[in-house]
Structure 1
């Protein structure tokens, strides 16, 4: 078997490993609030999230096209560049998982790709449009994630909470939260799995020397399956941080946080914007917390989450650059 083909197989395998890690790293995005409010058992929540992550991953490719053609031009694609970006993103994902910090797998991958691209050809080869789109998602999704649940909670309070007895609120919103958790899992798969689809398509461009304007079906299916399997493994360190350490949640709070985050993520997926599901649901949980009172949010824990957000971009830029240089020295 020719070395280039072996390299492609290694890159695809590495990409699917990243997708698997993304699945268990970001499981908390979809299920932490449901577990925290005891609406679902951990086993039920993970099973539901795994299935709906796969369903979401099969429903579009707009984000994948952004990754595969709007960050680094496909004509600059090499297997070394893709491999360096993936190794960098995996290192950061595993480090933040070990620390229990809900960082963004999406931005880890994208800015690792940018870092490797800069190492390969300098800043001039980086496509501003794709990076700006990513930065816009990075900036606006947490803001919308924080503000939307405050508005939605006010609406829910006006429609239901002001006249419904507490026991009835808990009973009814336990059912509704199952639906909101399902929506969150679906939207997570629809946005996050597409990043891996995009990076594999980018690798195919490197191997075949042709530009792809579509994502092959086998890539869609394999990425969806890898994320679903990763989700089934769970990510308990991050689930504990997201579900139990930021704010004390009730079913109505979980419903509002998940619905708000899912709407934002689903809208971004339609527009082809690779947002961080982690950033969005984290800020939604904080937004819900502030409706209970500013002191109800454990801002020290929230501060650690924000630190992980901030450090992801420069760290992954540097890691991507360093991994590409290392690959060059070894090859």
Structure 2
């Protein structure tokens, strides 16, 4: 039976409506982002007094807002990806929690790292005010463009490294290679290896401890009642020290003895509070790994929220640090970096931009970190979150530069590779009889077809997607040099366009 002309017309209209709706959804996020950038420009123009160079502040405010959106879209995935991938949080819940805690961290404890960047990376002759403004503007725009491209490609990268590359590239364009402190660049390059390796090792060790003490036991519930409070207490103390040294560094900087005391006090409090809660929650659980893993759900959500607060406090300066340098330079008329501060209205642009970028463009990278590298549950995601805090604390104590992005992704790889190793080992132990495990393999009565089948089974047990390892590692390696080249080109272009 053929369709009537009316049915065909209705089908066309329905298809047109669906296409229009899809287009509207795709354009909604860029449209909202554009409205925010215009609002940032208006806000900056109403805040800065009229005078020479005030229009540069407005332009820089738009670039800083653009960078903040990209920080939220890319960097925040490292904190929320494991929680979403393990199903401890829905995507909507993760976006809400991350947006609130990122903005709170940026506004309440936003750090000022632009002085460190300017002093430690560019050590040559001091530039005049116009050169310094152009360098910072080019660095900010170059890093924003690269992070935007990385987000589009689905690669989590370090926004700190992008800003470093931008400052170095623009600085070379302005003053030559002698202006750069190359030993510092070498130290930063070393963090490409240090950060993911430390994150992966700590996460794998924590997962191995949980496997040995809880999930491999016959009576998992009884083991969980003993060890989960201990693990949560350790997490509480570590995060208390993490927040004291990193998340609240702008408000309060305690010394080592006070930091250790804070850790001990919160460890004891965490154990006292968690003991009765775990016992109550475990009363109705089945003696299975899947059910025991739910005991880690609430600690994981708390850890993700605290990581977001600390990230907002520290990394908001990646978005607005160079912008604050531009504002201070224009208002003072010279490029002295020692007196650069982050005014509240500048922090607000960064805080709102990060939260907005997370809400509009963050889900893609959250899924990449949480779902597409390896399969996560609450226990593995907990190991990733705890590893991130431990690695940052250990690196800070040793004076090693590390990237929170590299740490988190390295931790995901670490738990994935450990599970893969354990899975392949268990498969070999099951496949080979006990009495034959110490016999020469050539003596085993195995046909070529059986050997090939065994190899195929082992290949299918690869629990980490190799293509993501290569693509993410490549994005990490090119971040600094690519941002540097792009910033150098933008410096030359801005030098022609700006008086």
TM-score (norm. length: structure 2): 0.61
Query: How far apart, in 1, do the equivalents of 2:143 and 2:400 lie?
Result: 19
Query: How far apart, in 1, do the equivalents of 2:394 and 2:419 lie?
Result: 27
Report the Cα offset of residue 23 of structure 1: 0.8
Partner of 1:202: 325
Partner of 1:156: 210
- Tell me which moved more, 292-301 or 61-70: 61-70
Report the Cα offset of residue 198 of structure 1: 2.5
CA deviation digits over 1:218-260, x for unaligned, max 9? 2344423332332233422222221221101111011101221
CA deviation digits over 1:84-142, x for unaligned, max 9? 11221121112111111112222111101100000000122223465355334433211
Query: How far apart, in 1, do the equivalents of 2:399 and 2:53 lie?
Result: 31
Query: How far apart, in 1, do the equivalents of 2:101 and 2:146 lie?
Result: 26
Report the Cα offset of residue 185 of structure 1: 1.6
Query: How far apart, in 2, do the equivalents of 1:203 and 1:184 lie?
Result: 29
Query: How far apart, in 1, do the equivalents of 2:399 and 2:319 lie?
Result: 14
1:102 counterpart = 2:156: yes
Query: How far apart, in 2, do the equivalents of 1:262 and 1:69 lie?
Result: 27
1:287 counterpart = 2:410: no
Partner of 1:252: 379
Partner of 2:111: 61
Structure 1: stretches of 5+ with no match in the other structure: none
Query: How far apart, in 2, do the equivalents of 1:268 and 1:186 lie?
Result: 19
Residues 35 and 243, structure 1, Cα contact 8 Å, conserved in 2: yes
Partner of 2:275: none
Residues 110 and 312, structure 2, Cα contact 8 Å, conserved in 1: no
Change beyond 3 A, Cα 1:313–1:256: same
Query: How far apart, in 1, do the equivalents of 2:399 and 2:495 lie?
Result: 32
Partner of 1:175: 298
Change beyond 3 A, Cα 1:60–1:87: closer
Change beyond 3 A, Cα 1:71–1:197: farther
Q: Which has the higher contact order (CA 8 A, sep 6+)?
A: 1
Give the CA RMSD over aligned residues.
2.6
Partner of 2:82: 33
- Tell me which moved more, 104-113 or 158-167: 158-167
Report the Cα offset of residue 148 of structure 1: 1.0
Report the Cα offset of residue 214 of structure 1: 5.3
Partner of 1:72: 122
Residues 61 and 215, structure 1, Cα contact 8 Å, conserved in 2: no
1:1-331 paired onto structure 2 within 5 Å: 1-57=50-106, 58-59=108-109, 61=111, 63-72=113-122, 75-76=126-127, 78-128=132-182, 130-163=184-217, 164=220, 165=287, 166-207=289-330, 208=332, 209=334, 210-213=336-339, 215-218=341-344, 219-265=346-392, 275-294=402-421, 295-331=462-498
Number of equivalences: 331
Structure index of larger Rg: 2
Residues 192 and 477, structure 2, Cα contact 8 Å, conserved in 1: no
CA deviation digits over 1:204-225, x for unaligned, max 9? 3432214334523423444233
TM-score (norm. length: structure 1): 0.89
- Tell me which moved more, 262-271 or 55-64: 262-271
Residues 134 and 494, structure 2, Cα contact 8 Å, conserved in 1: yes
